[in-house]
């Protein structure tokens, strides 16, 4: 965070500064967690239904905090700023720091793929200058302002991911971020418990455009989405650019070729020219992610060469679709970070492109509301349609997927049973076998990947590696 004075903070959050001494203090960080607080930090006491940061003021003092932001008076020797709501104060402070640093800013939301797009844009812009990007899943009403507070004066670009599980959340965070360019990667069946319907998802995602300047801000719209016209109707006074992986648009792709590793090569066509692109991430769906990333990055100053080089050298995103060669014949497609219908189907498309036996290992997809079993059935039907050989499920809802898969579908109640079954399928190895592991974060399907790597199959490959040495 940029160094700021305590009095400046009080002014930005509309708070009352209460201090025994008149000497103004310099703040170099803000923390909401006393476990990670640093000296020169300001401790902000968040409050919710099940927690109250005001109870940890003494711990903040002991850790070296130099000041506090509180919503009620407490006994403390530290100067503090009294506000009506500390959550709102956090947002105001994040927005103020962002305005003071004034980086070119990209806003990203979507049901799936937004984190991949975030990392793609950051990789492209890193060829232009210093980039701050959202870490992990800090994309909600608390995570977004905490990300903005990480801005330093040297940051020329900010790439901010925004998520939500209820209406109004993205409108709030987008108005804090005030992006120069913003996009909705896609809208799919996700968080339906909070949004009620797929249209509710599309409406919630469209809130990201509310933070754009009507005269100078650019909205980048997915022309392949069923909601493209709906979003365009909300952008009558904004600049708009479209992208498409299936037809001509402002930014589009031609001559897509999927390599043996599942990574795509294609021609990127933009209003300023065209260039050959090679992706480092597998999956045809990442062509669309690359197109929107190019649109976003080009608007804030990237060149076509920056786009090419950033996408070619982009590192793997942990938990996102990553092909791991377990043995000479067996590969694992680790896509365990999260799941909804759209992202599962995209991963199935990649799985279906590989030769040999194709196995889908599916955990529950969360937050799908009252139609959750129906959506799991649709995924099972899609896997069968795409020629997947076996579907193994783990969880309560995912059984609906293996049930509709019929004879080659099987449900497991315990991870160990599933891993043992997969090992029996793959040892001894007679042909190429690809195993896609997918599920929502709550399903913890990364444990399946870890168990397979530590199973007799994985140990066999490690034995071979040692013998080769």
Domain 102-313 coded CATH 3.40.190.10? no
* Cβ within 8 Å of residue 292, ≥6 positions away: 117, 183, 185, 220, 222, 243, 251
* Confidence tier at 175 by pLDDT (50, 70, 90): very high
Check residue 302 and give left, alpha or beta (phi > 0: left; psi -120 to 50: alpha). Answer: beta
For position 210, what pLDDT does the model report? Answer: 94
Q: What is the pTM of this model?
A: 0.85
Whether pLDDT at 228 is above 70: yes
What's the pLDDT at 214? 80
Compute the average pLDDT of residues 349-369.
92
253 is in an annotated binding site: no
Rounded to an integer, the average pLDDT of 33-46 is 94
Mean pLDDT in residue range 129-136:
96
110 is in an annotated binding site: yes
What's the rounded Cα separation, in Å, for the pair 336 and 331? 15
Given pLDDT bands bounded at 50, 70 and 90, which one contains residue 427? low
Task: Taking residues 418-443, report their average pLDDT.
Answer: 84
The token pair that represents 361 in the structure block? 């290992």
Judged against a pLDDT cut of 90, whether residue 320 lies above it is answered with no
Rounded average pLDDT over 392-409: 94
- The answer to whether 115 is annotated as binding is yes
Residue 82 has pLDDT above 80, yes or no: yes
pLDDT recorded at residue 286 = 94
Checking if the pLDDT of 463 tops 50, the result is no
Any binding-site annotation on 413? no
pLDDT at residue 453 is higher than 70? yes
- pLDDT-derived band at 429 (thresholds 50, 70, 90) equals low
Nearest to 60 by CA among 82, 45, 74, 81: 45
Q: What is the pLDDT of residue 237?
A: 73
Mean predicted lDDT score pLDDT of the chain: 92
Contacts of 146-151 with C-beta under 8 Å, sequence gap 24+, read: 146/30, 146/32, 146/90, 146/94, 147/94, 148/94, 148/95, 148/97, 148/98, 148/176, 148/177, 149/1, 149/29, 149/30, 149/93, 149/94, 149/97, 150/1, 151/1, 151/2, 151/97, 151/98, 151/101, 151/103
Which of 97-106, 191-200, 364-373, 427-436 has the highest mean predicted lDDT (pLDDT)? 97-106
Mean pLDDT score, 323-341 = 89
Write down the pLDDT at residue 191: 58
Q: Is 114 annotated as a binding residue?
A: yes
The pLDDT of 404-420, averaged and rounded, is 93
In CATH, the number for domain 4-85 is: 3.40.1390.10
Asked whether the beta carbons of 30 and 60 are under 8 A apart, the reply is no
The predicted pLDDT at position 461 comes to 52
Whether 174 and 182 have beta carbons less than 8 Å apart is answered as yes
Domains in the chain: boundaries: 4-85, 102-313, 322-467
Q: Is 111 annotated as a binding residue?
A: yes
Question: Are both 4-85 and 102-313 of the same fold?
Answer: no
The CATH class of 322-467 is alpha beta
**Mean pLDDT (whole number) for 215-243:** 93
Q: What percent of the chain has pLDDT over 70?
A: 94
Q: Comparing 72-86, 297-311, 444-458, which segment has the lowest mean pLDDT?
A: 444-458
Lowest mean pLDDT, pick from 64-73, 315-324, 411-420: 315-324
């Amino acid at each position: 965070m940029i160094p700021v004075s305590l009095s400046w903070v009080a002014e930005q959050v509309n708070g009352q500064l209460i201090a025994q001494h008149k000497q103004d203090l310099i703040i170099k960080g803000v923390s909401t967690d006393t476990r990670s607080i640093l000296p020169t930090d300001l401790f902000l006491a968040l409050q919710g239904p099940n927690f109250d940061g005001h109870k940890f003021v003494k711990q903040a003092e002991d850790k070296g905090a130099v000041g506090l932001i509180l919503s009620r008076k407490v006994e403390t020797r530290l100067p503090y700023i009294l506000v009506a709501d500390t959550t709102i104060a956090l947002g105001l402070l994040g927005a103020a720091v962002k305005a003071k640093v004034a980086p070119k800013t990209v806003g990203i939301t979507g049901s799936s793929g937004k984190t991949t797009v975030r990392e793609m844009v950051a990789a492209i812009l890193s060829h232009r200058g210093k980039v701050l990007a959202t870490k992990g899943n800090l994309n909600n009403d608390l995570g977004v302002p905490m990300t903005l507070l990480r801005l330093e004066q040297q940051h020329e670009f900010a790439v901010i991911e925004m998520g939500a599980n209820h209406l109004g959340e993205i409108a709030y965070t987008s108005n804090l971020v005030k992006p120069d360019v913003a996009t909705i990667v896609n809208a799919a069946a996700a968080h339906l418990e909070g949004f009620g319907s797929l249209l509710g998802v599309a409406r919630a995602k469209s809130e990201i455009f509310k933070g754009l300047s009507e005269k100078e801000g650019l909205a980048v719209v997915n022309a392949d989405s069923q909601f493209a016209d709906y979003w365009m109707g909300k952008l009558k006074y904004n600049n708009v650019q479209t992208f498409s992986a299936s037809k001509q648009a402002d930014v589009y792709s031609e001559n897509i070729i999927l390599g043996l590793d599942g990574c795509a090569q294609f021609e990127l066509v933009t209003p300023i020219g065209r260039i050959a692109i090679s992706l480092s991430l597998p999956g045809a769906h990442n062509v669309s992610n690359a197109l929107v990333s190019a649109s976003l990055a080009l608007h804030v100053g990237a060149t076509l060469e920056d786009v090419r080089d950033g996408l070619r050298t982009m590192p793997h995103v942990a938990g996102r679709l990553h092909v791991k060669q377990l043995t000479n014949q067996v590969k694992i497609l680790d896509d365990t970070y999260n799941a909804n219908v759209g992202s599962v189907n995209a991963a199935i498309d990649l799985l279906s492109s590989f030769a040999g036996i194709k196995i889908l290992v599916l955990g529950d997809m969360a937050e799908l509301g009252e139609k959750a079993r129906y959506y799991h059935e649709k995924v099972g039907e899609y896997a069968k349609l795409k020629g997947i050989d076996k579907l193994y499920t783990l969880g309560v809802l995912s059984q609906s997927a293996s049930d509709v898969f019929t004879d080659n579908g099987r449900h497991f109640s315990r991870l160990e049973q599933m891993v043992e079954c997969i090992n029996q399928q793959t040892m001894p190895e007679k042909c190429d076998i690809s195993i896609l592991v997918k599920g929502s974060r709550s399903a913890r399907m990364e444990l399946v990947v870890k168990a397979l790597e530590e199973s007799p199959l994985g140990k066999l490959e490690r034995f071979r590696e040692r013998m080769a040495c």
